[in-house]
Structure 1
């Protein structure tokens, strides 16, 4: 998985092997060995690669693309694609289980739906939204 993720992230970021090797402080040949699986970087080099690509170290090393994903590789830190949901007759959607788990959404929670015609829809837990409003009002 590491090799595929490294190649995917390098290409996604428009970097040549030589450019990425320079950022990491290794030779192009060493980077090539990482990509072919002939060598594995030490933890410090892995951390540096994860920081360059702004992904978690765990995702850099272990990320496996889910069959429900849309051809997107390793996501940036804190970003997720949970798959598609279908809107019901009354506008209802089912929030995927993985999203509910990550964001700790429980039955009975109140959610706020925000919209921006240029950027789309966002769903936040009521308490998180109210916390942001409080910070804005108090200037914290």
Structure 2
């Protein structure tokens, strides 16, 4: 799966094999072998690839290429998969926390739709929207 992910992520960023190789400090032939599945990147190369593509190493290695291939709209993100722990907790990927400036202690509202799934929303944003709708309906 990593071979397909490397190729897909490289193309998504409009990088040639040569340019990707330069960015992570390997030869173009090495990148070609990874993409062909005839060899695998070592751990240090995986870390450099993940950083270059702005994905986690877990997603670089295991994320379904079909998810990576989805077209991304401006302001919309796929941050990868998370695992629900035995106590019900989940850990948000660092990239998601950074993108949305989520800090320890921040309050997030978990909302759900049986047809669409779950989402986390900033509590203040949700309350502002609710107050705005309420004011509109009272006019």
Instruction: Specify the TM-score bucket, using the shorter chain as the normaliser.
Output: 0.5 to 0.7
**How many residues are paired up?**
94
1:37 aligns with 2:37: yes
Cα gap change, 1:16 to 1:72, in 2 (>3 Å): same
* TM superposition score normalised by structure 2: 0.55
Cα RMSD of the aligned pairs, angstroms, is 3.4
Task: Work out which structure has the larger RCO, using CA pairs closer than 8 Å and 6 or more positions apart in sequence.
Answer: 2
Residue equivalent to 1:118: none
Stretches (4+) displaced over 3 A: 72-77, 125-130
- Per the TM alignment, residue 47 of structure 1 is displaced from its structure 2 partner at its CA by 0.3
1:124 Cα offset (Å)? 2.3
SS of corresponding position for 2:23: helix
2:96 matched residue in structure 1: 78
Which structure 2 residue ranges, 5 or more long, are not aligned? 80-94, 98-111, 129-139
TM-score norm. by structure 1 comes to 0.54
Q: Which runs of 5+ in 1 are unaligned?
A: 80-92, 104-122, 131-140
Higher helix share: 2
User: Could you tell me which of 101, 122, 125 is aligned with 1:124?
Assistant: 122
